[in-house]
Structure 1
Amino acid sequence: MTGASVRRPSRMGPWRFVVWFGTVSLLADFVYEGARSIAGPLLASLGASALVVGVVTGAGEAAALGLRLVSGPLADRTRRFWGLAIAGYALTVVSVPLLGVVGVLWAACALVIAERVGKAVRSPAKDTMLSHATAATGRGRGFAVHEAMDQVGALVGPLVVAGMLALTGGDYGPSLAVLALPGVAVLGLLLWLRARVPDPEAYEREAAAATDEPAPDGRLPTAFWTYAAFTAATTAGFATFGVLSYHLVVRHLVAAAWVPVLYAAAMAVDAVAALATGRLYDRHGARVLMALPVLTAAVAVLAFTDTVAIAVAGSLVWGAAMGIQESTLRAMVADLVPSGRRATAYGLFAGVVGAASLAGGALTGGLYGRSIPLLITVVVGVQVLALVLLAVTPAARR
């Protein structure tokens, strides 16, 4: 392919595309993280039991990850990346404000799940388009900047909703209605971006043409599956924040009111870690990911102590590990998989992460009730296995 035969994607450079798409994600996280922060109390106010809340929110997370096994191949087959991304975002930003006005439990439950379905519809298409632009910017840095902006929305959204609840005396209607404003901005910005960059894949074609790289075939390479096994292992030993906060509260280390503040601090660390490891990934490659099993093991060693400062430090390390999971792990998928199958790969990868996250939550939660030393030993052992799997991944060896 020659430079003359490559169609330019638009008048917008790849870094501007990454930043604008990061702004979309920031605003979308403002919307749905704001809603998720009060989903449990909202359902309870409509008469839901703890079981109903658990089942509904669990079903939503299962849909957000599991349905990507369908939406990923669909995006690759139809090549309608913009259409799927816009449809998924639209479903989310419409569902959230309606949560505050339906007033009926079954309808609210359906909307909670619908919001997560929207994430499943858009995510493989969104990640694939982002991967095309990051071929020119550096994949690690591009995904890291996107993740950092994403976390800004995840931090601001719940704080705005909390402020609205305080102002309205706990009225969920206006507290969720205010989230319609960033929702409208999400859709407007997406339509503008589609008009400016109708073909994001052209960024990657230009980058490949500039380096005279041969076009790869359309198969999912063996290295992808080895990498997926590494991801499953390191995620299966990763405690959820729910387990960490449970330990902090039941051991009377931190008051329950301070748990959201600690979570916000962990999200700030998440953003910093994403930016740092993304830059290192572009310079040193997949070896940077060896930090993830080390951090995951450190979370178990630190967070489940009975010393306040050490346990809090463990929660902040958890945030650093999350930053790598949400950015650099995704960046490497794009480096391993050819463009024609990348949305499928992202869908499969999300399925692996979802299943491993469920296993990790069950493993750490179950072992916590039996023996904390046993929990730490098992988690460290699983992370050693993850390091071995990363070491045998061809990209990591290079």
Structure 2
Amino acid sequence: AVDRLGKGVRTAPRDVMIADVAAAEVRGRAFGVHRGADHVGAIVGPLLATALLAGGLAVRQVFWVAAVPGAFAVLLAWLAVRSAARGQGQADARAASSAAPDVPVEHPAPGFLSLVIVLAVAALLRAPETLLILRAQDLGVAVSAVPLLWAALHVVRSLASYPGGVLTDRWGPRRTLAVGWLVYAALAVAFAAAATAAQAWAVFLTFGLVAGLTESPERKLIAGYAGSARRGRGFGWYHGTLSVVALPGAALFGWLYQTKGAGLALEASAAATLLAVILLAIVGRSSDQGV
């Protein structure tokens, strides 16, 4: 519980730091680099812990070893905050002398809350990864292969994150996000129709592309819409809202899975995602300038 509390407290400030130090035209790439590294950590961390345990260390000792890079990360973050604050102060001074006086960087764009609602709609009936793994097992993937399946998913996510960030900067975050959601909807339908373990492997790993096409553009949109002086609150609303809808969304998907079958649950998830794509095309486009 304390670990999850720490994640909740640090996530919004981390994204604010990335948004503040990256210029708008490369912000997608910046988030892509971070997301790719985060997915690498999801692979390397458990593997290192397993190796340390296999080497004879006790669980308590492994936690002490894990605290070393954690403390180092805190130090780096502190130094980065100081550096970013100096850079931001210089940037604010330049902006004050050159920007038009009516640029409302201190306030969220008019479509901010609508954007958060659209992102929440997309997250509400998104298939939880645990149930995607259950679907893979239903199709014949052995329980012993699940750790490998999970690690391979994060490999794909890591490899897709930076290209997804590049597309975010090139196409714009709204278009890239729509493509990512459409890919998710297509994969959900494909997973519903899958019939073999080989197909389960192929579709499950392809789900990794969705993270690359959605994580960076969502964050770039939030950073742009929230306003430079309100990004902390903006990312807090974003992460908080998605966390709130995650539990009822997972419960609803699980209920559909258990009572109506995996096929209907995945197809319903695809339909909800298509609804989110339509809403994304309608809501707040007039506020996209400069995002």
**SS in structure 1 at match of 2:86:** coil
1:135 is matched with 23
**Native 8 Å contact 2:114 2:283 kept in 1:** yes
Residues 196 and 336 of structure 1, relative CA distance in 2, 3 Å threshold:
closer
Give me the TM-score of the superposition, normalised by structure 2.
Answer: 0.87
**SS in structure 2 at match of 1:339:** coil
Structure 1 residue identity aligned to 2:189:
V
2:151 is matched with 264
Residues 159 and 248 of structure 1, relative CA distance in 2, 3 Å threshold:
same
1:241 CA drift (Å): 1.3
1:356 is matched with 245
> Is 1:320 aligned to residue 209 of structure 2?
yes
Residues 391 and 116 of structure 1, relative CA distance in 2, 3 Å threshold:
same
Structure 1 residue identity aligned to 2:224:
D
Alignment of 1:117-128 (within 5 A): 117-128=5-16
Residues 382 and 195 of structure 1, relative CA distance in 2, 3 Å threshold:
closer
> Is 1:341 aligned to residue 226 of structure 2?
no
Aligned length: 284
**Native 8 Å contact 1:133 1:203 kept in 2:** no
Residues 244 and 282 of structure 1, relative CA distance in 2, 3 Å threshold:
same
1:389 CA drift (Å): 0.9
Structure 2 residue identity aligned to 1:151:
H
Alignment of 1:240-259 (within 5 A): 240-249=128-137, 251=138, 253-259=140-146
Residues 194 and 163 of structure 1, relative CA distance in 2, 3 Å threshold:
same
**Native 8 Å contact 2:17 2:84 kept in 1:** no
1:383 is matched with 273
Measure the CA separation in 2 of the matches of 1:361 and 1:225: 23
**Native 8 Å contact 1:220 1:338 kept in 2:** yes
> Is 1:294 aligned to residue 179 of structure 2?
no
Q: Of residues 166, 170, 180 in structure 2, which corresponds to 1:283? A: 170
Structure with the bigger RCO (C-alpha within 8 Å, sep 6+) is: 2
> Is 1:309 aligned to residue 198 of structure 2?
yes
**Native 8 Å contact 1:164 1:174 kept in 2:** no
1:187 is matched with 74
Identical aligned residues as a percent: 31
Q: Of residues 78, 86, 90 in structure 2, which corresponds to 1:199? A: 86
Alignment of 1:1-398 (within 5 A): 113-135=1-23, 138-168=26-56, 171-202=58-89, 205=92, 208=95, 212=99, 215-216=103-104, 218-249=106-137, 251=138, 253-285=140-172, 286-304=174-192, 305-369=194-258, 370-395=260-285
Measure the CA separation in 1 of the matches of 2:26 and 2:155: 23
Instruction: For residues 105-161 of structure 1, give each alpha carbon's deviation from its aligned partner in whole angstroms, at most 9, with x where no partner exists.
Output: xxxxxxxx1122222222222211211112256111111111112222221101101
Residues 309 and 252 of structure 1, relative CA distance in 2, 3 Å threshold:
closer
Give me the TM-score of the superposition, normalised by structure 1.
Answer: 0.65
- The unaligned stretches of length 5 or more in structure 2 are none
Structure 2 residue identity aligned to 1:275:
Y
1:64 is matched with none
- The unaligned stretches of length 5 or more in structure 1 are 1-112
1:177 CA drift (Å): 2.2
C-alpha root-mean-square deviation of aligned residues, in Å? 2.5
1:166 CA drift (Å): 2.0
**SS in structure 2 at match of 1:327:** helix
Residues 224 and 257 of structure 1, relative CA distance in 2, 3 Å threshold:
same
**SS in structure 2 at match of 1:168:** coil
Residues 204 and 128 of structure 1, relative CA distance in 2, 3 Å threshold:
farther
Measure the CA separation in 2 of the matches of 1:347 and 1:281: 22
Measure the CA separation in 2 of the matches of 1:361 and 1:168: 38
